[in-house]
Amino acid sequence: MLLLLVGVLVLLLAPRFRRPGPRGARAGGTLLVTGVSPRPDAVGEQFVTIAGVINGPTVNEHPVHRQLAVDVAQWPVVGQQFPVVYSPNNPDNWNFAPAEPPPGQDQDYPW
C-alpha cells in the first residue's frame, strides 16, 4: 500500500521537476493575411475567418487559416501583417504573439 502511494506521489510531482525542453519551444514569425471573410453589418464581436501565410525562421510561406471572434471595428484586411508564435515542428499550431508589456513593467509580475 505504501509503495502504491509513493508511486502515485511520484507521478503527480514528476512534471514539476522536468525542465521544459525543445518540446515547449516556440518560434516567432509573421502572419500575412491573404484572405478574410466579409465584414458583417452587425456591431460588436463577430466571427471572422482569416487565411494567410506564416513566414518565420523555420517556415517560408506556410499556409494557415483560423476562425476567431473580432470586434467589427477591428476587422482584419488582406495584406495586414500580425506577429505570431508557432511550433517549429507543426506550424499549423500557431497563435498571435502576446502583446508587449508597457515600458518599465516587469513581465513576470504585472501588478
Residue 109 has a pLDDT of: 43
Residue 105 has a pLDDT of: 53
Q: Report if pTM > 0.85.
A: no
Tens of pLDDT, residues 34-90: 999 999 999 999 999 999 999 999 999 999 999 999 999 999 999 999 999 999 888
Residue 99 has a pLDDT of: 79
Residue 85 has a pLDDT of: 94
41 grid coordinates = 453589418
In angstroms, the CA 30 to CA 10 distance is 41
Q: What is the separation of C-alpha 3 from the centre of its chain, rounded to a whole number of angstroms?
A: 41
Rounded mean pLDDT of 2-26? Answer: 70
